[in-house]
Structure 1
Amino acid sequence: MTGLPGGLPSADLLAALRRWTGRPSLTVDTVTCAPIAHAISAPTTRALTRVRVAASDGAAALDLRLVTKELQAARYGLPPQMPDDARAHLDAVIPWRLEADVLTSDVAGLMPPGMRMPEVVALHEQDGDRLTLWLEDADPVEDHWTARDTVRAATALGRLAARRVGAPPTAPVPGGDFLTGYRDEQLGTWAVPWLLADDTWAHPLFRLPEVAALREEVCALARRVGDVHARLARLPLLPAHGDATPMNLLRPRRRPEELVLIDWGMTGPATAGFDLLPLVFGRAEAGVGPAAEVPGLLDAAVPAYRDGLAAEGVELDLADLTAGVLTAALLRYPCTTMPLSLVMEPVTDGAVARARERAAFVRMVLDLAPA
């Protein structure tokens, strides 16, 4: 066992596997590591690796499967062209080790029936603000994500949010909650100024008919993000996972009726119902699901989330919750989903296709906007 992810000593891996399996005499025969094909967008994620361990315990052979996630301070993963002051600011406010802290906390004991966290096999701290999480490989099924999956996930997320009320807080979030920080950071310092600049709309990608047609509505929204955010004040802040996309809700092959909720790096306070945004909009935003599926999924997911809250003693008006989710989507998606990041890239056929895809997504979100 040499060259393990994150430089974990082989003796430490052996000890961790013995604890995890409950087999004190387990021995390791071979370890096979392979990078996971995944587009890493978070600056705090250095690498993802799938690990397969051939082990034995007396005459019994074991096939152990794990996933490692190498976490790092944000400064290591931010774009090299970013100004030093911006880099220092983001490095200070992004809680790079949050996922590890949550996975090893008491939150696991608050998970509702039918949902759980991945099991932590080992946590290897490294110098220079880096660490590696060794987690079980849930071996998820690759079956199509269904409307029924969305409903059961929404119910469980509602129950989880209610169960976490009063639990010890996670790392501080800029602005105090996700959408306040989003208004000030991603919107206030980046997307809004760019969208209101004439030069942006002179770029070839912004002159595409599908993109250019959005200018009036998107710029009007950019000018009033403060007013949109203020509408959310009628809803309480609740603990949220923060990135509960279908891609982060794994259905284990051995127990597909169970959901394993991974990627806790964005957890924190958010407006009630916020977790429905990645759950319902996430596939379309990532380009792996049609934008046309979103309205129908919302109609089913919002009542299910409300039912989950109510099952744990938190009552919210369905109309208020629905309006809040749509308002949060209006704040979260249109301005930052416009192809702003693509203007730094060459104008290729792929960039044109992505810009058109993003424009279709923005159009869908704007059409859902509450009156």
Structure 2
Amino acid sequence: MTTSPRPAPSPVTGLPGGTTVAGLLPGLRRWTGRPGLGVEDVACTPVRHRISAPTTRALTRVAVTARDADGPVTLRLVAKELQRAREGLPPEVPPPARELIDSLVPWRIEADVYASATAGHLPPGLRMPDLVHVAEGPGDRVTLWLEDVALTGEPWTADDVRRAARLLGRAAVRRRCEPRLVVPADSFLGNYVAHRLGGHALPLLAADDTWSHPAMRLAEVAALRTDLADLAGRVPALVAELGSVPELPAHGDATPMNLLRPAAGPGTFVLVDWGTSTPAPAGFDVVPLVFGRAEEGSAAPGEVPGLLDAAVRAYAEGLAAEGLEVPVDRLLRAVVAAALIRYPCTSLPLDHLGGPVTDELLAHAVERAAFVRMVLDLQPALSGR
């Protein structure tokens, strides 16, 4: 009896970011420890995900069917394409604004973090996804080929938040030996205060025309005007409050959505989206961890106050475990100050007021108003009450 030879696989074309199979293959072999691996097929599926950063061109899930002498294997990756900010801005943004935004957003920072020693400085229980391959170009673009982490379907719990906060505190101290990343305004927080707040949101909130829009005239939204005006005047004092705690390396956007929980290996977090990784006041990563789900709209604002104190205490425990003692009350004030800087003045739909007035916009404004009110109501924590 004779058997027909296995048909030669068809050539694979059209991979994300202009990557070729030949370029990807050495990384696959290193990642798997299978030096004889050959690629038979590649299937690409765009990730259904709201991309808010203009520096993210696309996310694609990629399933690679490969084979060697030990048999077949399917490898699952995510290709993340990075680009200059000006390429990802809406077409209605005028050229001067495009150039300003482009100059303020360091689009390669995530690729730089993956190329750095950060992965080796993270504590047990917290890791980055495996980096399989980096493809440069065409032009000012980079594609990161990352491990696709299979996730648990279990809902987030308060214990998850506490464990993540403790690990983020440990990571911040362990990363102090890393070279400081150079970005505009010295950090993303400084950039945010100078440009997102000072150059954009605060002038809009001070304008009567803004508050004449139907979405801003809704009772729940209009009731915020006086409080937001007061908060705008206190931004310098809030920034000064952040100076009461040490500056440490931060992830910058450690939301539950970016802290992946693998189905295999429970108890470990895989931290993704490192594009805002710059120095920040101690405790800064607690802000997206605790507020992130409510800010995104996937949880009620009411969950935040119940998580905040425990998360700050766990973060302080993480700092102490690595030899840095910071009083919990001081950390709490810094976290609340950072949240007041980050959210209330930029969370209302200011960027959508030039478009049509729809039921969706009005409902979104009411939802955002509830989130803003919750953050504003945390202000007594600044005085210890």
The TM-score bracket by the shorter chain reads over 0.9
Query: Are the equivalent residues in 2 in contact too, given 1:180–1:229 (CA < 8 A)?
Result: no
Equivalence for 1:122? 133
- CA shift, 1:358, in A, is 0.5
**Greater alpha carbon shift after TM alignment, 193-202 vs 212-221:** 212-221
Matched, 1:291 2:301: yes
Would the aligned equivalents of 2:128 and 2:271 in 1 still touch at CA under 8 Å?
yes
Matches within 5 A, 1:1-371: 1-170=12-181, 172-369=182-379, 370-371=382-383
- Offset of residue 174 of structure 1: 2.7
2:150 partner letter: D
Partner SS for 2:35: coil
Write the distance in 2 (CA, Å) between the matches of 1:362 and 1:129. 37
Structure 2 gap ranges (5+):
1-11
* Letter in structure 2 aligned against 1:52: A
Partner of 2:349: helix, strand, or coil?
coil
Counterpart of 1:18, as a letter, is: R
* Alpha-carbon offset, residue 92 of structure 1: 1.8
Q: CA deviation at 1:325?
A: 0.6
| 1:129 Cα offset (Å) | 0.7
Q: For 1:324 and 1:224, how far apart are their aligned partners in 2?
A: 14
Helix, strand or coil: the match of 1:347? coil
Given that residues 133 and 145 in structure 2 are in contact (C-alpha distance below 8 angstroms), is that contact kept between their aligned partners in structure 1? yes
Measure how far apart 1:256 and its partner are: 2.4
Asked if structure 1 preserves the Cα contact closer than 8 Å seen for 2:18 and 2:138, the reply is: no
Count of residue correspondences: 370
Shift of 1:185: 0.8
Letter in 1 for 2:203: P
Distance 1:278 1:20 in 2: 31
User: 1:41, 1:177 → 2: CA distance?
Assistant: 19
- Between 81-90 and 120-129, report the one with greater CA deviation: 81-90
Does the CA-based 8 Å contact 1:183-1:226 persist in structure 2? Answer: no
Q: Distance in 1 between matches of 2:209 and 2:303?
A: 34
Q: Flag structure 1 segments of 5+ consecutive residues without an equivalent.
A: none
Shift in Å, 1:166: 2.8
Deviation track 1:157-207 (CA, whole Å, cap 9, x = no partner) reads 00000011132122x233223332211110000000000000000000001
Q: Which amino acid aligns with 2:61?
A: R
Is 2:248–2:281's contact at 8 Å kept on the other side of the alignment?
A: yes
TM-fit CA distance, 1:257: 1.4
In the TM superposition, residue 59 of structure 1 has moved relative to its aligned partner by 4.5
Write the distance in 2 (CA, Å) between the matches of 1:133 and 1:38.
17
Using the TM superposition, give the Cα deviation of residue 344 of structure 1 relative to its aligned residue in structure 2, in angstroms.
Answer: 2.6
> If you compute each CA radius of gyration, which structure gives the higher value, 1 or 2?
2
2: CA distance between counterparts of 1:209 and 1:275?
A: 33
Identical positions, percent: 58
After TM superposition, give the deviation of residue 232 of structure 1 in Å. 1.8
Displacement of 1:146 in angstroms is 0.9
Q: Is the 8 A contact 1:35 1:50 kept in 2?
A: yes
TM-score between both structures, scaled by the size of structure 1: 0.97
With 241-250 and 20-29 compared, the bigger mean Cα shift is at: 20-29
Q: Name 2:6's counterpart in structure 1.
A: none
* CA RMSD after TM alignment: 1.1
Q: Kindly provide the amino acid, as one letter, of the partner of residue 180 in structure 1.
A: G
Q: Is the 8 A contact 1:69 1:134 kept in 2?
A: yes
